[in-house]
Amino acid sequence: MFIRKKNFRLMGLAITFFMISGIYTSSPCIATELNSSTSNVKVGETQVKDFQRDIPSLAATYKDYFTIGTAVLPNQLDSSNIQSEFIKYQYNEIVAGNCMKMDATEPTENNFKFDDADKLLAYTQANNMKLRGHNLIWHSQVPAWFFQDKNDASKPASRDLLLSRMKNHIQNVAGRYAGKIDSWDVVNEVISDSNGLRDDSGNSKYKSIIGDVDGDGFDSDYIELAFKYAREADPKAKLIINDYGMEGSTRKRDDMYNLIKRLLEKGVPIDGVGLQMHVSMYSPSAQQVKDCIEKFATLKSIKPNFDIQVTEADMSIYNGNEPTKEVTNDIYLQQATQYKKLFEVFKEEAVKKNISTVMMWGEADCDTWLDDFPVKDRKDAPLLFDRNLQAKPAYWAIVDPSKVKGVFRQSVNTPKTTIAIGAAVDAKWSTLSSFDADNYVVGKNGAIASIKTAYDNDNLYVLADVKDSTVGDKDGIDIFVDKTGSKVEKYSATRTTNTDTIKTIDKADGYQVQFKIPFSGFTPVVGAKLAFDIKINDSVGNGEIASSAVWNDFSNKQDADSSKYGYLVLDADNKILETKYGIPTIDGNIDSVWDLASSVETNVLVEGKAGAKATVKTLWADSYLYVLCQVKDSVLDKTSKDDYQQDSVEAFLDENNSRGETYDADDVQYRVNYENKQSFNGKCDKAKFKSATKTTADGYVVEMAIPLKTPGVANKVMGFDAQVNDGTAGKRTGVLSWCDKTGKGYATMAKIGNIKLLALAGK
Ligand code: 9MR
């Protein structure tokens, strides 16, 4: 949404547009297009006089699953504005992008302004749509007076004053629309980005001013009371606790889950959680989103109708802070693929009655807050329609994938290592990352698989771990490979195939197939890209194929040609750091025992410029993994308040090497800055963890003793990675790791490396 200031700035341009097109007046979208062309208005940007009225609406497409809506600005609903028709054509719910927030509804104490909000309500009533309320209590877009003493603005409001203001605000706003709002975001963004409830360091004053009113030992009372006031003001609306970042971060998800669980058990009237879903096309993965929804769905055991809502969905085309890029068709296709995966999860979860609504944060790309966030003036394209209100590939991918022109070709790394094919699955597979064949091209649910690949000079190895609970004659897998771009090869197996090159093993929830595909004549080199796809077929009863799920070509034309396959990118040897037995003293001095240890370098650039870099060594003994990082970093900086933006090293450990998309109970991340400040993520054993640091002539040294949850044994292989953060003047300017190039180790161990514990003679 554009902030109101921006709309004023654009008014002149909007009038210009009216004169040119002669059809529609002010629209933030089209005005923005004009703004981007200078004095010479380009024809292509101004010829759009209409949206597509002959394509399916999102609302109709998803009517059996969830309502689908968008955030709006009041002027978009003016009948003179094309958006007013477009929005009601495509969507069946709206939410105020800004005009129902506190700075809009109560700019000065007890002076309420409802014109804009009333306009939204009238629009929904006239068009048979739902209205979401966003939001009642938030630390942002709240006027300063709210937290100030009545007589002296330099003093904070007292607890009682702040509570009475909250109550008054909620009574007036939620009370005015009682019975007319489907769901209210009662509190917004109350979980901190680092730990627990947001407080003053996260710019929220509610917790410190109100604190623990009922003396139960928790200072979440402002949240509890906000819900109580909201229920009194509007007994019918679903009362939602809304936040961002829980889709990928299990830390934030767990904090929210624990808060809601405790409050539900206490009888606080929370009806659901809002997942904002401000995501990027790079992450989180569909599996992480699904895990997140299913975690919150377990709260139904306390409150059977507990609802999960997707409240502010958009999908940036950028990975973090990367600079402006041209929006190519390939980017559109990559985004479409990810949108398709997410909406498949949403549908699946709607069938389980876990989610009830999906709200987009903007009706089209011309109307997105991401044009200015997190990088000012970096134009983004995160929504389903383009800047001229035309359907993007992302729209078609979630409405009718057969109409997407082209398919994004995903790439996965395939490490070099020889694998044995046999009656049991080779243990080496556990050291490799997986990807999913879970795009249904036939049917809606049935069998999907997690895939791993490896190669050596002679063969390509594929392991498919298939989840399929219905046994049928035609259950099986097709693999498609085009090594040179000129010939499609197809390899098929059923769930009972057993040959020298294909072995199948039955499992309780499906089956596993190991393939050894000879290169015959093809010489693999590091960096080569093999076109590859895989299809998982499920048959039930009569032997017909009831569902097929693929990895890449969702147009399902694998047999015809390889132009829509993904790529296996042949990589260097699989990374496994051999770790000897030895016990160093953790004091920042490099004992001679470290001379025994093998070392690796953090050479993989994750983010920014290659700055600080480390040589990493590991040792183990019984219940500890020891890590030594010798960091080269010429200027040491810890000025940022965020631990991860300070000069620091991180160690990631996945003890059972399950490489899950979401942190499991054994996954830990330990971070230590150059002055030995520790920070944690995952189920870390803070009491047993030890670390020490020392600065050196050209950087610093970090020693860590990471407690193992299961004592180590010789030959055990665990997931492990090390990362160095380079802070410069308060910002993280470079990140290097040993293995994982995604920078997402804080959320998933899927792409980290490995360590193998070696036995010392006699041990
Ligand atoms: O879209 C809103 C934008 O116009 C405002 O400038 C911004 C100010 O904080 O708020 C935007 O909406 C936010 C929403 O209310 C809560 N979740 C994050 C959204 C994007 O910032």
Query: How big is the chain, counted in residues?
Result: 763
Average pLDDT of the segment spanning 612-621? 97
Is ligand 1 within 6 A of the CB of residue 203?
Answer: no
Q: Distance, CA 367 to ligand 1 centroid (Å)?
A: 12
Instruction: Say which range, 287-296, 568-577, 655-664, 704-713, has the weakest mean pLDDT.
Output: 655-664
CA gap 710, 34 in Å, rounded: 62
More confident residue, 60 or 1: 60
Q: Distance, CA 163 to ligand 1 centroid (Å)?
A: 24
More confident residue, 298 or 446: 298
Q: Is pLDDT at 18 greater than 80 in this prediction? A: no
Q: Percent of the chain, pLDDT > 90?
A: 83
Class of domain 411-573: mainly beta
Q: How far is CA 684 from CA 84, 650, 739, in A?
A: 51, 13, 21
Q: Give the best-scoring range by mean pLDDT among 109-113, 661-665, 759-763.
A: 109-113
Other CB atoms within 10 Å distance of the CB of residue 418 = 14
Other CB atoms within 10 Å distance of the CB of residue 408 = 23
Q: Where are the domains of the chain?
A: 3-403, 411-573, 576-757
Give SS3 for 293.
helix
Structure confidence at residue 760 (pLDDT): 76
Q: Is pLDDT at 35 greater than 60 in this prediction? A: no
Helix H or strand E segment including 397: helix 393-399
Is ligand 1 within 6 A of the CB of residue 312?
Answer: yes
Q: Is pLDDT at 24 greater than 50 in this prediction? A: no
Q: Which of 709, 579, 720, 711 shows the shortest CA–CA distance to 659?
A: 720
Task: Give 19: exposed, middle or buried? Use CB within 10 Å, 0-12, 13-18, 19+.
Answer: exposed
Q: Tell me if 411-573 shares its fold with 576-757.
A: yes
Q: How far is CA 175 from CA 169, 180, 181, in A?
A: 9, 10, 10
CA gap 536, 475 in Å, rounded: 8
CA gap 29, 668 in Å, rounded: 45
Structure confidence at residue 38 (pLDDT): 28
Structure confidence at residue 320 (pLDDT): 82
Distance of CA 260 to the CA centre of its chain: 21
Is ligand 1 within 6 A of the CB of residue 368?
Answer: no
Give SS3 for 291.
helix
Cα torsion 608, 610, 612, 614 to 10°: value is: 120
Q: Between β-strands 448-455 and 439-442, what pairing exists: parallel, antiparallel or unpaired? A: unpaired
Structure confidence at residue 231 (pLDDT): 98
Q: Which of 753, 750, 681 shows the shortest CA–CA distance to 288?
A: 750
pLDDT tens track for 522-571: 999 999 999 999 999 999 877 789 999 999 998 999 999 999 999 999 99
Cα torsion 424, 753, 293, 93 to 10°: value is: -130
Q: Is pLDDT at 519 greater than 80 in this prediction? A: yes
Is ligand 1 within 6 A of the CB of residue 371?
Answer: no
Q: Distance, CA 370 to ligand 1 centroid (Å)?
A: 10
Is ligand 1 within 6 A of the CB of residue 100?
Answer: no
Average pLDDT of the segment spanning 664-684? 95
- For the four alpha carbons of 519, 522, 527 and 530, in that order, the dihedral sign comes to negative
**Whose CA is closest to atom 21 on ligand 1?**
369
**Whose CA is closest to atom 10 on ligand 1?**
98
**70's tokens:** 């968008």
CA gap 301, 304 in Å, rounded: 6
Helix H or strand E segment including 166: helix 159-176
CA gap 695, 747 in Å, rounded: 30
pLDDT tens track for 164-195: 999 999 999 999 999 999 999 999 999 998 88
**236's tokens:** 């019918």
Select which of 33, 106, 182, 189 is catalytic: 189
Check: CB of residue 511 under 8 Å from CB of residue 466. yes
pLDDT tens track for 231-258: 999 999 999 999 999 998 888 999 999 9
Structure confidence at residue 761 (pLDDT): 56
Q: Distance, CA 97 to ligand 1 centroid (Å)?
A: 7
Structure confidence at residue 43 (pLDDT): 28
**Whose CA is closest to atom 1 on ligand 1?**
1
Could you tell me the pLDDT band of residue 29, with boundaries at 50, 70 and 90? Answer: low
pLDDT tens track for 459-492: 999 999 999 989 888 899 999 999 988 899 999 9
Gyration radius of the chain's alpha carbons: 28
Average pLDDT of the segment spanning 346-368? 97
Show Cβ contacts of residue 347 under 8 Å, excluding neighbours closer than 6 positions: 62, 65, 444
Give SS3 for 7.
helix
Average pLDDT of the segment spanning 35-46? 32
**Whose CA is closest to atom 20 on ligand 1?**
369
Phi, psi of 229 (to 5 degrees): -60, -40
Pocket test for ligand 1, best of 312, 370, 372 (most atoms within 8 A of CB): 312
Query: Ligand 1 atom closest to Cα of 362?
Result: 1
Check: CB of residue 390 under 8 Å from CB of residue 52. yes
Q: Distance, CA 206 to ligand 1 centroid (Å)?
A: 19
Select which of 199, 224, 271, 312 is catalytic: 312
Active site residue 312: yes
Q: Which of 394, 412, 413 shows the shortest CA–CA distance to 404?
A: 394
Is ligand 1 within 6 A of the CB of residue 382?
Answer: no
Structure confidence at residue 195 (pLDDT): 85
**601's tokens:** 């370098």
**Whose CA is closest to atom 4 on ligand 1?**
1
Check: CB of residue 252 under 8 Å from CB of residue 284. no
- Average predicted confidence (pLDDT) for the chain: 91
Structure confidence at residue 194 (pLDDT): 83
pLDDT tens track for 102-161: 999 999 999 999 999 999 999 999 999 999 999 999 999 999 999 999 999 999 999 999
3-state secondary structure 271-284: CEEEECCEEECCCC
CA gap 735, 216 in Å, rounded: 43
Pocket test for ligand 1, best of 361, 367, 372 (most atoms within 8 A of CB): 361
Q: At what angle do helices 286-297 and 250-265 cross, to 10 degrees?
A: 10
Give SS3 for 72.
strand
Domain 3-403: homologous superfamily in CATH: Glycosidases (3.20.20.80)
Could you tell me the pLDDT band of residue 322, with boundaries at 50, 70 and 90? Answer: confident
Does the structural domain 576-757 have CATH classification 2.60.40.1190?
A: yes
